[in-house]
Amino acid sequence: MDITYPIIIAAAKTWFRIGLKVDMQGAENVPAEGGAVIACNHNSYLDFIASGYPGERNKRYTRFMAKKEVFDHKVGGFFMRSFHHLPVDRSNGAEAFEVAVDALKRGEVVGVYPEATISRSFLIKEIKSGAVRMAAAAGVPVIPVVHFGFHRVQTKGHSRDLSRGTAVVIRVGEPYFPTGEDVAAETAELKRRMDALLEQCIDAYPADQKEPGAWWLPAAYGGSAPSLEEAERLDVEEKKLRAERKAAKAAKA
């Protein structure tokens, strides 16, 4: 039974009306019943709001896969469990996969982030095959959901900005039914669809908010965001620093 989820959704919708300018198309592509994988782009800390919104339009609650450490948090863990989200143990990918497939077979809408980590370039990074494989295993469709604009509010490496009137564009693609016969090709097709939806989002983004050289706009669209290659370099450096801090902390223990 969902008790907290509807409350949080109501709060988010109020924020949409008061603080943001939301343009969403394609919500009807989320099925009114039955399992489905929502494959979301990952460019902000608020992706779950944008990618869960289309399902809510059809009275569906999206169960997101998230690392199990989030569920261990005293406050955040309570909400994650109350939303019936799905914990992922990164050391046991097979178990996480089975948990997701089981939820899909029960008729749940499961949200995944095929890019795995936030894209600093705000373009679609190379994606992993999990969304395609679990959809094929459960016999359900993959529905790509791509948004653009929430990263202006809060994303990696930038201060939070709650300015009113920020535009958010959401595009929901048509259902895509992987068979699992050629996972690499089907994953590439999902990537192609997500790329096309992102282009639609950026093209539809209000021209009066596209400042030349804006940090949140990809370079190909007149902004100053890092390229995919530069973003990858930054991710590698961050991972290295994190590992060094962890090792130093362990040495002091």
pLDDT tens, position by position, 45-78: 988 888 888 988 888 888 887 776 766 766 566 6
Domain spans of the chain? 4-208
20-25 sheet: strands from edge to edge: 20-25, 166-172, 142-148, 36-40, 109-112, 62-67, 86-88
Distance CA 137, CA 102 (A): 10
CA distance 194 to 146: 7
pTM for the structure as a whole: 0.88
The DSSP letter of residue 122 is: S
pLDDT digits (tens, 9 = 90+) for 152-205: 999 999 999 988 999 999 999 999 999 999 999 999 999 999 999 999 999 999
More confident residue, 5 or 50: 50
pLDDT tens digit sequence for 134-166: 999 999 999 999 999 999 999 999 999 988 999
Question: Residue 86 — pLDDT band, cuts 50, 70, 90?
Answer: confident
Residue 33 contacts residue 105 (beta carbons within 8 Å): no
- pLDDT score recorded for residue 16: 81
